[in-house]
Chain A
Amino acid sequence: MKNFKINHRESSGLDVLDLHGELDAHTASQLEESLKLLINSNKSNIIVNCSELDYIASAGLGVFMAYIEDVRSSGGDIKLTNMNERVYNVFDLLGFPTLYDILEDEQDAVERFSNEN
């Protein structure tokens, strides 16, 4: 699928997913697979860096909704960072900023995790 890509890396002992391109009802399954892989390996401190994410539809937000409880119930969180204005606007329209940690920069998420743990 040429218009969406995910990279996984580790940073400061946290798992970071870098999203690239367009996240819609077609490409959401790729994000779902990546999150499931992390959760199944008991990784629960996850940062999703959206700096290269150009577009998101509600199907993309749905993936975060479906897995956040699993992650939080094992003491972790999914923190979202580096969104462009257009992507943030979609999260904002649906009220996500009060339910999810959405941060300006990846480093802010690293610090927040280290304060929480």
Chain B
Amino acid sequence: MNKTATYRITVNASTENLSEVRDFIALHAKKQGFSRKEVSDLQLAVDEAYTNIIKHAYKNSNNENVEINLSFDPDKLCISLFDSGNSFKPESYDLPDIRKKMKERKRGGMGVYLIHQLMDSVSYHAQPDKNEIRLCKKRT
């Protein structure tokens, strides 16, 4: 169960594929022995990262792809999402002021905070031809 393994999926960057992406994460994380709660956390973190790529890297344009790599090793799981859109790095990882947003009838800006709450480490790597967001979670 703890041996090193990698899995990859490439999906069109569309919110239509969110459930497919969550299913892909759950399938492999369950097989690798992550608990139900951990699987939920991983699904949500990847959902938020993938949604941000659709909105911010690709600005909701169709016909773009996101590649997702899962890499299990004995002490942790790392999930990388690659895109070839605009590189972006969030300015803040802090808890957003939800009360203020409510008053202003605004939404959004919560995904990055959630990702950082759910994962043990989060890093961004912008290369000339592609961007990577890498999310890692230790095995407990």
Contact = CB atoms under 8 A, between A and B. Distances in A.
User: Considering residues B15, B22, B95, B106, which has the most beta carbons from chain A within 10 angstroms of its beta carbon?
Assistant: B15
A62 B113 CA distance: 14
Interface in A49-78: 55, 57-59, 61-63, 65-70
User: Considering residues A57, A67, A89, which has the most beta carbons from chain B within 10 angstroms of its beta carbon?
Assistant: A57
Contacts of A3: 19
Interface residues on B, range: 20 to 34
Contacts of A25: 15, 18, 47, 51, 54-55
Contacts of A6: none
Contact of A57 (B16, B47, B101, B102): B47
A66 B16 contact: no
B107 A62 contact: yes
A95 B48 contact: no
B105 interface: yes
A99 B98 contact: yes
B99 interface: yes
A90 interface: yes
Given A22-B19, A24-B18, A69 B98 contact: no
Contacts of B96: 94
Nearest to A72: B102
Interface of B: 15-16, 18-19, 22, 37, 40, 43-44, 47-48, 51, 54-55, 95-96, 98-99, 101-103, 105-108, 110-111, 113-114, 117-118
Interface of A: 3, 22, 24-26, 55, 57-59, 61-63, 65-70, 86, 89-90, 93-96, 99
22 contacts: A24-B15, A24-B19, A24-B51, A25-B15, A25-B51, A25-B55, A26-B18, A55-B40, A55-B44, A57-B47, A58-B48, A61-B110, A65-B101, A65-B105, A65-B107, A69-B102, A69-B103, A86-B37, A89-B40, A93-B118, A96-B98, A99-B99
